[in-house]
A = this chain, B = another copy of it.
Amino acid sequence: MVSNRIVECIPNFSEGRRQEVVEAIVTTIRAVEGVKLLDYSSDPSYNRSVVTFAGPAEAVKEAAFRATEKAAELINMEEHQGAHPRIGATDVIPLVPIRGLSMEECVTLAEELARDIAEKLGIPTYLYEKAARRPERQNLAHIRQGDYEGLKAEITRPERQPDYGPSRLHPTAGATVVGARTPLIAYNVNLATTDLALAKKIANRIREVRGGLTAVRAIGVENKEKHTTQVSINLTDHTKTSLYQLFERVKAEAQALGTAVTGSEVIGLLPLEALVGLARDYLGLTDFEQGRILEARLFGE
């Protein structure tokens, strides 16, 4: 049957213009047995592509390694230009535990991958988020400071030493950041107002940094297409704040400000556990977990 240890991987590659390069990278991922390609998209102005795939832990590690190898072969950071921060051909590889493994085990997987990339490909690697070995490296932006060009000059400094591999950038592929993190849910709540100030006010009230909800990042945005405003949210850990708690809070804040919620939308993919948590909280269910879903029982064991 299907492996029990399922990991999602969302590598970012510094190529968003030459489609044949992106296809070549994606092809190496597809070629690994057990791995399932879920999505990939390129941004020409960022000159960057994001690939989403998932599968058994070992297969995912193998696919991420091969894709990094292919990107090192086809992308030259010396010639790369793009609007998005980046330090390498394979810029960042987040690993997300989906089922059957703990965050700790996913960190171990990230360490193994980072070590393989450093030792076998000669690309220095940094560990970030839950895999970080220095507190400041939990933050990806900190590791990417100065971009490829800046890191090239500073990598020999003690505070910029990679976690694995040489203290010099790979001549074409630069450096790569590898880590483990909780699944991020991109979620927008639609408001019954065109007043952007109200949307921003609600966003401010629910953001973790402003004392709102744990694991919630939010901004108020206009949705011109739909002639409305939205609270655009990144929920970085749905086990800390469930979709139920989040939605109820936005509804309450909207009401307090004299407006209302008209609906919401999930962007991209939602982990099943987030749906289970929503049902548990909303319905006040006791003893409810993934194993109670027929399909999870069918495919998960």
Contacts and interface: CB of A to CB of B under 8 A. Distances in A.
Interface string A244-288: 100100000000000001111110111110011011001111111
Residues of A contacting B: mostly: mixed
A201 interface: no
Contacts of A293: 269-272, 275
A298 B265 contact: no
Number of copies: 2
A225 interface: no
Interface string A222-242: 000000000000000000000
Interface residues of A, number: 46
A210 interface: no
Contact of A284 (B55, B264, B275): B264
Given A298-B54, A298-B55, A275 B279 contact: yes
Given A265-B286, A275-B275, 7 more contacts: A36-B301, A265-B288, A268-B292, A269-B293, A271-B293, A271-B295, A272-B272
24 contacts: A8-B294, A38-B294, A38-B297, A54-B297, A55-B298, A98-B295, A244-B282, A247-B282, A262-B284, A263-B286, A264-B285, A265-B285, A265-B286, A266-B288, A269-B292, A270-B292, A270-B294, A271-B294, A272-B293, A272-B296, A275-B275, A275-B279, A278-B283, A295-B295
Interface of A: 2, 6, 8, 36, 38, 54-55, 98-99, 183, 190, 243-244, 247, 261-266, 268-272, 275-276, 278-279, 282-288, 292-301
